[in-house]
Chain A
């Protein structure tokens, strides 16, 4: 397993090579990338902060759980920290499995669990301000926070 929290750019080729296996019939790669807008607001860049040591520990637990649950052969989970520009990769997941079904299901499950459990936070920076995004990015929450910020 390859588990890493790093301020360096994430290397997809490295992750794919890491999960290669002669028994694998499928390799699934997911990239979480920085989008230039959120909830109608123009995003200039993001800043990610992690509780590094614990984040790696929790990522490893989730990866081990995914491996058992979906019978994955190889698993790489990398999260970037620091300032990220639009289009850069913040989260990289690569997994390999015997067949495609478990690689799609396992990948989907992994992303969801990582977003729920790993102690990482992102700050959105706009042209005219910034805000820590804390918790699920539901429309209701962000509108409420934007409203408070404007008061």
Chain B
């Protein structure tokens, strides 16, 4: 089972990707998935302090769990309107 990570705006520019599939690991949280993502894409590390997170389209906290098959979105500071 995978976890799908979505990137937007400056993050997707930096990674050169909009979507990344990672292996699910039992007990995964937003934090643990991000740790693995940043290991694979170190260029994204500097963005981490400013990010918000959404799991399956709902804002969540870094300690919240990420179920198998979930979509985790990394949300840089928004600027709509």
Which residues from chain A sit less than 8 Å from chain B, CB to CB? 32, 48-51, 53-55, 57, 79, 90-91, 111, 114-123, 132-137
Which residues from chain B sit less than 8 Å from chain A, CB to CB? 6, 8-10, 13, 50, 54, 57-58, 73, 75-81
Q: Please list 30 pairs of residues, one from A and one from B, whose beta carbons are closer than 8 Å in the complex, sorted by A's number.
A: A48-B80, A49-B8, A49-B9, A50-B80, A51-B6, A54-B57, A57-B57, A57-B58, A91-B80, A111-B81, A114-B80, A118-B80, A119-B8, A119-B78, A119-B80, A120-B78, A120-B79, A121-B9, A121-B78, A121-B80, A122-B79, A133-B79, A134-B9, A134-B76, A134-B79, A135-B77, A135-B78, A135-B79, A136-B77, A137-B79
In the complex, the answer to whether A51 meets B75 with C-beta atoms within 8 Å is: yes
B-chain residues with CB within 8 Å of residue A132 when the two chains form the complex: 9-10, 13, 76, 79
Q: How many A-B residue pairs have CB under 8 A?
A: 74
Q: Which of B13, B73, B81 contacts A51 (CB 8 A)?
A: B73
Most chain A beta-carbon contacts within 10 A, residue among B9, B10, B50: B9
Given contacts A117-B78, A119-B8, A121-B80, 18 further A-B contacts (CB under 8 A): A48-B80, A51-B54, A53-B57, A55-B80, A79-B80, A90-B80, A90-B81, A111-B81, A114-B80, A115-B81, A119-B73, A121-B78, A132-B79, A134-B10, A134-B50, A134-B79, A135-B76, A135-B79
